[in-house]
Structures are given as structure tokens and as C-alpha cells.
Amino acid sequence: MTLSRRGLLGAGASVSMLSACATTPGATTAAGPFKPTWDSLAAGYKTPDWFRDAKFGIWSHWGPQCVPEFGDWYGRQMYIQGNPFYDHHVATYGHPSRFGFMEFIDQWKGDQWDPEGLLDLYQAAGARYIMSMANHHDNLDLFDSAHHEWNVMRVGPRRDIVGTWEKAVRARGLRFAVSNHAAHAWHWWQTAYGYDAEGPLKGVRYDAARLTKADGAGKWWDGLDPQELYTGPTFAPPEGISSIAEMNAWHDARDGQWIETPPPNNPAFVRSWVARQRDLITKYKPDMVYFDNYGLPLGRYGLEATAEYYNASLEWRGELPVVNGKRLDDRQRKGIVETVERGFSDSLKPEPWQTDTCIGDWHYNRARFTGHSYVPAHSVVQRLVDVVSKNGNLMLNIPQRGDGSIDSDERQILTDIAAWMKINGEAIFDTRPWRIYGEGPTAVVGGMHGEGAARPWTGQDIRFTTKGQTLYAFALDWPEDGRMVVRALNPQAGRVEAVELLGGGALPFRQTVEGLVIDLPAERPVTVAPAVRLRGAGLV
């Protein structure tokens, strides 16, 4: 049979996401030139220079899903029988009908979180903008939320995570960003309304399917409605599914997709999202909002939120902000800044863009530390150089443990990045692309989620940046024979008059019809991706 939202939760359960909020989707609080259409955004938007100059940001992708220290999407996957996350959860915490995700929120205290100490490391590593996650698909607001009771002022750390980051970041003169992932919560959470299809607890619904506000009496979540966290059973599996494979197929066909439309029959969810997004930008006035969406979230509501944010930012500080979205078409790329999650560009893009990636899992995974399997610093800086040469920025997540700290391997990676930046930062920050991004034998496939198939860079892979009349060239690794050959810099490209190694000094070179040949020194000022400063006639 098909279960209704009311029938699954019981006759007395509330499924309202925003019963006390009178905000109407579509209402705006800031008048201005931008209207909620792609044509208006594309016609009036220009990426701010601060973003183009900054090049490198660090992301605090931190929340209660970091408590089990088991990796990404723990909240959704702990409810999928047969999944390694489910197995780990049952073995460590108990069955999800008895210990559901919301219990991690109470365990999430962040008692070792030291934002100033982390910012010391991030700033030394070169980060010029810092992004705080404002909520994830788990639907907990990590800020002083006026329109969602499941927020960190009432539960968990009982501390304004976003607000603490914002004050500390701005005190250092850095730019502040927030990420909003909550538009996907309504379908992401549907596994929490399921049950085991096999085994001794077959058919016993998980916690989201049975808990109501009344059940919280006398508990840590007294006065809160679990249905406002878990969003209600839009695609709850019916009774009678008798195999794990069948249950997985049920979810894959319905809520297992990346759905960008508003949820059916749940307008309260949309009202909540609109009110919370407005509250977020009004309270913290971020320089940048990252939406974890293809295009913009929830159809026209994402357009309305973006137009409102643009107009508000012009009023606040007289400049446009940055809004990120994924998998954009040509018109959309003119209206917001595209971000490419864990992927590459295979070309020099006409509009500024961003790659967002991570040295490990998005949410902390202890196995990355015990197995020493983080992405190393040399790979991070190679990636940064490649992205910047193609008119992009790199946003890097350094996963935090449930208590808010980072581990010793992560600290060493940041320290190594800082050492490289101290030598080569001038060829990264405040630069612009050259005529071409570079050359070399190592091709990448453009698009999202392509990192796993990437080949190692070589000393023959060259990348360019410019600053004023100076041209910089990087070799993404040290050439094995000690010679950096830049084929694009033949005499037709301009006359090279001086070559200096950053962190070194003047270098011997010769310019031939086959390119520029530079003799590198035996002493290496950096371990990877050396950069040379080139001056001459007609180069830039």
C-alpha cells in the first residue's frame, strides 16, 4: 500500500516545516537592478575583482556528520541496509530505529574547535577567502537561525558556527563565504523513513518514521519536532519490501537522484528554505554563497534568492557578491560563477570559475588519517596552478573532526602548502590568464568528479599566468633533465629578455624557433611546480 505523510507518522504528528513563519516565497527585501530571471542575472552580473584576485579559498565543511568520523553522507547512508555505513552504524551505535542520526547532533559539541588557530594555518597557506558551511543535506542550520528550530544555538555546540567564523575571518581582512546545501534535504532524508528489508528487525521503521514532537518530552530535544529536521516522508517505502536489493531499487528510482525541483506536496519546505536563506545573508552579509545545486536551487526560488542577494550586496557594500552553481549552460555562466566539484576544466574559460575539492572526504573520515591517504600538498599546488591558469579559483576543504580539530597529517599538508606559497604566491595571487593556459602531454577530461581518473602531471606540463607586464610560467613538476622547455614561447610569441626562478635568481635561457629553453639550478627552492618570472617585449 502507499503510505501518506500523515499515515506513516501517526495521527498526531506534525509535518509542518515552518508553521510559525509568515514569510511567503517570492517576497524580497532588497530592491535593485536584478530581477529573478536568468536573462537579468546574465545581463547585469560581473564577477567581482576580489574573487578573481583571491585564487584560493579554504572551506570548513563541518557538521554533525563528522562525529562518527566515517566519511561522506553518513546521515543518508546509515539508513541503507547492506551499505558499509549502515553496518558500521549498527555495530558502533545500534540499530537506526533506536539510534537515529539526530542523536549525533546531541553528541556534536565542537569542544576542540579553535577557529583562530585554524585561520592562522589557512592564512599562512594562502587562503584569501574562507567558507563556512551553513547547513548540509542533514538540514541542521549551523547559524543563529530565526526560521528553523533545528539550529546550533539550541542543539549541538550551542554556538553560532557561521557567526563565529564570520567575525574571525573579517577581522583578518579576508573574504567570507557560506555554503547552503539544504535544498536537497527533502529527498536526501527519505532513507530515514525506511526499514530493514531483511534480518531480525525486518519491517521496523527507522527513527524518522515514528518520532514526533511529543516524543521529545524530557529529552535533549524537548520542544523540537524531528519531522522538521527529517522533512517528512515524501518517498517513504511502502510495507512489504522483502529484500535489500528491492529496497535499494526503490530508493534509487525515487529519492536517489539529484533532484533540483521543489518537493511535491510540501510547500512548507520551500517556505522554510526561502526564509532561512534570507536570514543567512541578512545576518552575516557574506561575500559569497555556494549553492550545492545544478544551476540554482528549487527552480524560481533560487533565482529569487540570487537576485535578492545581488541587490542586497549592492546596497550593503556597493559591490556584487559571488554565487556558485554547478553544471551551468552558457547563459547561466554569465549570471553566476560556475563551480566544478572534484573535477577539471580542459580549457581556458572565458568567465571566472571555481573548482571545489577536498584533501579527503567532505566529512571527516578517520581512515584517511590512519591510512595516511590524504591528497598530498604537492598535488594541491599542482591543481591550484592548473586551475588558476584557466581563469579559475580553487576552494579546498580541510576536513575537521567531530570535535572541531584537524589531525597532524592535515596540519602538515597546510604547512607544506604555506612553504610553496611563500615562494610562488606572487605568480598566483592577483594574476590573470595569458593567451593560452599552457601546454604539455597530460590531458584532463573536463567536468565534475573526474579526479580519480587523472594522470600525474610532469615537468613538461607548463602553465601560464600574468600580472601587469610580467609573464609567469610554471612547470607542474621538476623536469627530469633539469631543463624547462616552453614551446609556446618561440620568437613569434614575443622576445624574452630575462628569466628568473622564483625563490632563486636569474637563469640562463635561449629562445629558438622550437621554444624557450631554461636551464634550472640543482638547488630547488620548492619541491614541486617551480615558477619562472619572464620579462621581455611583446610577451603580455
Using the 3D structure, point to which of 341, 371, 394 is the last residue of a domain.
341
Specify the pLDDT at position 18: 32
Question: Which candidate, 123, 65, 131, places its Cα nearest to that of 339?
Answer: 131
Asked, for residue 384, whether it belongs to a domain, the answer is: no
Examine residue 25 and state whether it is found in any structural domain, yes or no: yes
When divided into structural domains, the chain yields a total of 2
Question: For residues 195 and 5, what is the distance between their CA atoms, to the nearest angstrom?
Answer: 16
Q: Which residues lie closer than 8 Å to 195 by C-beta, 6 or more apart?
A: 97, 201, 202, 203, 204, 205, 206, 209, 237, 241
**What is the three-class DSSP state of 6?**
helix
Q: What is the DSSP string of 122-136?
A: HHHTT--EEEEEEE-
In a domain, residue 376? The reply is no
Type of residue at 296? L
Start-to-end CA span in the chain (Å):
69
pLDDT of residue 504: 97
**Residue closest to 377 by CA, chosen among 125, 134, 16, 145:** 125
Rounded to an integer, the average pLDDT of 319-323 is 98
List, as one string, the DSSP characters of 257-276.
S---SPPTT-HHHHHHHHHH
Which CATH number fits the domain that encloses residue 217? Answer: 3.20.20.80
Could you read off the pLDDT of 512-532 as tens digits, one per residue? 999 999 999 999 999 999 999
What are the pLDDT digits (tens) for 106-146? 999 999 999 999 999 999 999 999 999 999 999 999 999 99
Tell me what the mean pLDDT of segment 75-102 comes to.
98
- Those residues whose C-beta lies under 8 Å from the C-beta of residue 120, and which sit 6 or more positions away, are none
| C-alpha 230, offset from chain centre | 22
Asked if residue 397 belongs to a domain, the reply is: no
Domain boundary residue, one of 292, 319, 341: 341
**Sheet containing strand 483-486, strands side by side:** 483-486, 515-519, 509-512
Q: What's the rounded Cα separation, in Å, for the pair 57 and 197?
A: 44
223 pLDDT exceeds 80? yes
Helix (H) or strand (E) holding 393: strand 392-397
99, 241: one domain: yes
Output the pLDDT for position 104: 98
Tell whether 296 is covered by a domain. yes
Answer yes or no: do 337 and 444 share one domain.
Answer: no
Taking residue 283's Cβ as centre, other Cβ atoms within 10 Å add up to 16
User: Same domain, yes or no, for 274 and 153?
Assistant: yes
- How confident is the model over 329-345, as pLDDT tens digits? 999 999 999 999 999 99
3-class DSSP assignment, residue 1: coil
Residue 21 has pLDDT above 80, yes or no: no
At residue 313 the predicted structure's pLDDT band, cuts being 50, 70 and 90, is very high
At 443, phi and psi to the nearest 5? -90, 150
pLDDT for 449 equals 95
In a domain, 355, yes or no: no
CATH code for the domain in which residue 509 is found: 2.60.40.1180
| Domain final position from 341, 357, 373 | 341
Structure confidence at residue 31 (pLDDT): 86
The reply to whether 446 and 336 lie within a common domain is no
Map grid coordinates 557574506 to a residue.
286
Residue 383 falls inside a structural domain: no
Write out pLDDT tens, residues 421-453.
999 999 999 999 999 999 999 999 999 999 999
For residues 147-156, give the mean pLDDT: 98
pLDDT at 249 over 90: yes
pLDDT in tens, 280-300: 999 999 999 999 999 999 999
Quick check: helix, strand or coil at residue 540? coil
Does 478 lie in the same domain as 332? no
> Which has the minimum average pLDDT: 18-32, 69-83, 341-355?
18-32
With 80 as the cut, is the pLDDT of residue 2 above it? Answer: no
In a domain, 21, yes or no: yes
pLDDT band at 12 (very low <50, low <70, confident <90, very high): very low
Q: Helix 377-389 crosses helix 408-424 at what angle (to 10 degrees)?
A: 40
pLDDT by residue (tens digit) across 497-517? 999 999 999 999 999 999 999
Q: What is the mean pLDDT of the chain?
A: 94
Q: Are the CB atoms for 63 and 108 separated by under 8 Å?
A: yes
Rounded to 10 deg, the angle between the 115-124 and 408-424 helix axes is 40
Domain holding 489, by residue range, is 438-537
pLDDT tens figures, 470-485: 999 999 999 999 999 9
Residue 183 pLDDT more than 50? Answer: yes
CA gap 186, 256 in Å, rounded:
11
Residue 365 bridge partners (DSSP): 70
* DSSP-derived secondary structure for 303-372: HHHHHHHHHHHHHHHSS--EEEEES--HHHHHHSEEEEET-B-SS--SS-EEEEEESS-SS-BHHHHHTT
